[in-house]
A and B are shown apart, each in its own frame.
Chain A
Amino acid sequence: MNKNNFILKLNSVGKYFLAEAGMKLNVLEDINFEIPVSSEGSITSIIAPFGSGKSTLLKIISGVIEKDRGEIFFGDSQSSNKNIIPLIPEKPSSFPWLSVRQNIKFGFNLTENKKYNLDNLIALVGLAAYSDHYPDNKSCGFRFRISLARAMALNPSLILIDDSFKQMDLESREEIYKLIYDLSSSEKLNFIIATTNLVEAIQLSGLIFLMSAKPGKIVHRIETGGKYSPEMRNLKSEKFSSLKSEIEEAFQSVHSLKTINYSV
C-alpha cells in the first residue's frame, strides 16, 4: 500500500556552480514541486528554455550530482528500486560496444529486482527483430528505445528523459511519444521529461511544470487533464489551443523564455 501520495517531492532544491571569478552562479533556486502517485503511470514535463538548468535538475533527481540546498523525497510506489532513477540524456546513450540484447542485459545485471524477462522487455520497446543489432549508426529513435529498455530493466519508480526527442525526426518522435504513453499505461511507469518543446509537453504530459531561467525556478504548474489524450494530440482542438495560450502567457510574464520552441 502507498504510504505517501507522491512519487517525487522537491522542497526548496537549489544548486549553484562556481564561476571563474569565484562567484557563485545560481543555476537552480528554490525548486518546489510534487508529482502525485498515479495508478495508471504518469508523464510529467518540465518545460524550460535552453540553459535554464533543467538538465542539472534531472541530474540532481537522478543522484548523478549533488544538490546544494533543499530536500528530495521519493514516495512509495509499486517499484521497490527507489534508489536508482535512470536518466536518458539528450543524446540517447545506448552503448555502441554492446548489442541491443547486451545493452538491455547490462541493466538487468545491475539489479536483483527484476520485473521483466529480457526477451519481453526487448519486445516491449519494439526491438524484437533487432536484438542482435548494434546501435552504432542507428537512428536516435532506435538508440532511445535501447536506453529506455535498459532503464526499465532496473524496475525504477521513475525514469527521467532529458530532451532526448529533439534530435529525432517528426515521424520517429510520434512513434516514441506513443511508446512512452503505452509503456506508462501498461507498465505503470512514471516519466519526467525535460523539454524545450511546448507542443511535445502538452501532447504527452498529464502534468506540466514551467521553469524560468537564470536561475532555474518553477514558475507555473498546469494539469492537462490526462497524458497523451486525443484532444491534446489534436493541434487544432480547443483545449490544446487554450492550454498553449495559457503556457505562452505564463512564459511571456517571465522574460527568459524566448528560446521555447512553440512549433511542432
Chain B
Amino acid sequence: MLIKKNRPVYYLVVSYFLLWIILFEFILPVNKILPKPSIVLESFSALWSYYNLPVNYLSTISAIYVSLFLSYLLVKVLSPYLKEKDNSITVFINSLEWFSQFIPGIIIGLLLIFWFPATGYVEFVFAFVTAFASIMIKFQNESDTADEEYILSARSLGLNENEVTKKIIWKNVEPKLIEHMFDLHLYLWGMLIVFEFIKGGPGLGEIFRKALEYDDLSAIFSVFLITGISVYLGTILLKYIRKKFVFWK
C-alpha cells in the first residue's frame, strides 16, 4: 500500500540503492563516505557475534514497542480521568512540558541520562513516560473535537460520563491516536538510540557507539539499514492495525 501510494518516491529510493551498489562496489570501493555493499553484507555476521546484535536489537525494539503498547493501554484505561484536563497527571506532565518551551529536549534528555543508570529498565521507563505523555496530550486535544452527535446520542441512551468517554469518545478519537503513533514510534526510535549512544546501555545506540570507536563504517551503515528497515516495518504494522482494527474515520 505504501509503495502504491508513493510510487515515484520508491523508484527514486531503489535508484539510490542501485547507485550505491554501482558507485561503491565497482567505482569507489575504498572511501570514507559509504561502505562497499559486499562488505556491508559480510559485516552482518560480525554484528551478530562481535556487536551482540540480537540482544541489542531486541532491547531497543522491545523498549519501543512494549512501551508504546502499554502507554496506549494505560491512556485508554485512564481515559475518563485524563479527559478532564485539571487532573493531577495532566498538571504534572504540563508542568514538565512547560520547561520544554525554553530548553531543547535533548538537553533535558542529557540531564536525565546523567541521573539514571544505563539499564534496559531505565530505557523502557524513558520510552514509556514519553509515549504516555504524548498519547495522553493527543487524546485530550482530540477528545475536545469528538463528534457531538455521538456523544449526544450516547447520553440520551443513558450512558454516564465515564461510559461516554470509554465507549464513544475513545472510539471516536482512536483513529487519530493510531495515526499519531506513526510519528511517535519514529520519535521513540530516535530518542532511545541517542540515549543508548550517550549512556552506553544495551541497544542499537550502543552498537553505533562501539562502531564509531572502532571506526567501523560498514557496521554503522549496517545498523543504519537495520534501523531503517525496522522503522519501515513498524510503520507498516501500525498502518495495518489502523486499516484492520481501527478502520473508521
Interface residue B42 (Cβ < 8 Å from any Cβ of A): no
Known A96-B249, A97-B171, A134-B248; contact A107-B157, beta-carbon cutoff 8 A: yes
Q: Which residues of B contact A97 (CB under 8 A)?
A: 171, 174, 246, 248
Interface residue A85 (Cβ < 8 Å from any Cβ of B): yes
Are the C-beta atoms of B156 and A85 separated by less than 8 Å? yes
Please report the C-alpha to C-alpha distance between residue A92 and residue B153 in the assembled complex, in whole angstroms: 9
Q: What per-residue 1/0 map shows which CB atoms of A42-59 lie under 8 Å from chain B?
A: 000000000000000001
Q: Which residues of B contact A85 (CB under 8 A)?
A: 156
Are the C-beta atoms of A88 and B159 separated by less than 8 Å? no
Q: Which residues of A contact B246 (CB under 8 A)?
A: 97
B103 CB, nearest partner CB in chain A, Å: 37
Main secondary structure of the interface of A (DSSP, over half): loop
Q: Which residues of A contact B149 (CB under 8 A)?
A: 89-93
Q: Which residues of A contact B152 (CB under 8 A)?
A: 59, 64, 87, 89, 93
B156 CB, nearest partner CB in chain A, Å: 4
Q: Which residues of B contact A106 (CB under 8 A)?
A: 157
Contact of A160 among B156, B168, B247 (CB under 8 A): B156
Interface residue A227 (Cβ < 8 Å from any Cβ of B): no
Are the C-beta atoms of A110 and B158 separated by less than 8 Å? yes
Contact of B155 among A64, A91, A134 (CB under 8 A): A64
Q: Of the listed stretches A147-155, A183-191, A209-217, name the one at the interface; the rest are far from the partner chain.
A: A147-155
Interface residue A86 (Cβ < 8 Å from any Cβ of B): yes
B interface list, Cβ under 8 A from A: 147-150, 152-153, 155-159, 168, 171, 174, 246-249
Of the A-B pairs whose beta carbons lie under 8 Å apart in the complex, a sample of 13, sorted by A's number, is: A62-B155, A63-B155, A83-B158, A84-B156, A84-B158, A86-B153, A93-B149, A93-B150, A96-B249, A106-B157, A110-B157, A110-B159, A154-B158
